[in-house]
Amino acid sequence: MQSTTSQSKLEEAKKIFTAYLERKELRKTPERFAILEEIYRRQDHFDVESLYISMKSKNYRVSRATVYNTLDLLVECDLVTKHQFGGNMARYEKSYGYRQHDHLICLDCHQVLEFCDPRIQSIQNMVGELLQFNIKHHSLVLYGHCQKNECPNKKQPAEKKNG
């Protein structure tokens, strides 16, 4: 069940997307809005293939090309954020109405963790003012090894060899 807040964010995102498509004189297809809805119902960072599979498993008739093209439009109108967390695969997340945050990436299990530290926003504001730069957004990604025992790809310490 989707919360009232999530539903209202989705409704606002639909309005923004509609206005964007009209401004660009692009078609307002049901497939584009189904993709937007699917994204705004997700709670994770996703790649194109997982979004496509999710849409197909719910019997939506969309092609990979439609998913790719719609994602590009959603990124252009700031409803979705595209990340390159390393490797060849872009990851995405919904962005309208969600607070600025940064990411930690485990180099073993590739888990993406989000964190928010207000000091980063303070630094951004100070640097923008100091350099007379109107910063719209930033991206901070920290890479490391999670300390969780259940990390499936954690490298085990090499066993000591006797003598």
Q: Give the dihedral of Cα atoms 111, 92, 63, 2; nearest 10 deg.
A: 90
Q: What is the pLDDT of residues 99-157, one digit of tens each?
A: 778 888 888 888 888 888 889 889 999 999 999 999 887 888 888 998 888 777 666 55
Cα separation, 71 vs 81, in Å, equals 9
Q: What is the pLDDT of residue 58?
A: 92
Q: What is the pLDDT of residue 157?
A: 52
Q: Percentage of residues in the chain with pLDDT exceeding 90?
A: 52
Query: How is 78-147 classified by DSSP, letter by letter?
Result: TSEEEEE-SSS-EEEEE-TT----EEEEETTT--EEEE--HHHHHHHHHHHHHTT--------EEEE---
User: How many whole angstroms from its chain centre is CA 8?
Assistant: 19
* pTM score, whole prediction: 0.75
Taking residues 13-32, report their average pLDDT.
96
The candidate with the shortest Cα–Cα distance to 32, out of 21, 47, 43, 44, is 21
Is a pLDDT exceeding 70 seen at residue 162? Answer: no
Q: What is the pLDDT of residue 159?
A: 45
Q: What is the pLDDT of residue 156?
A: 58
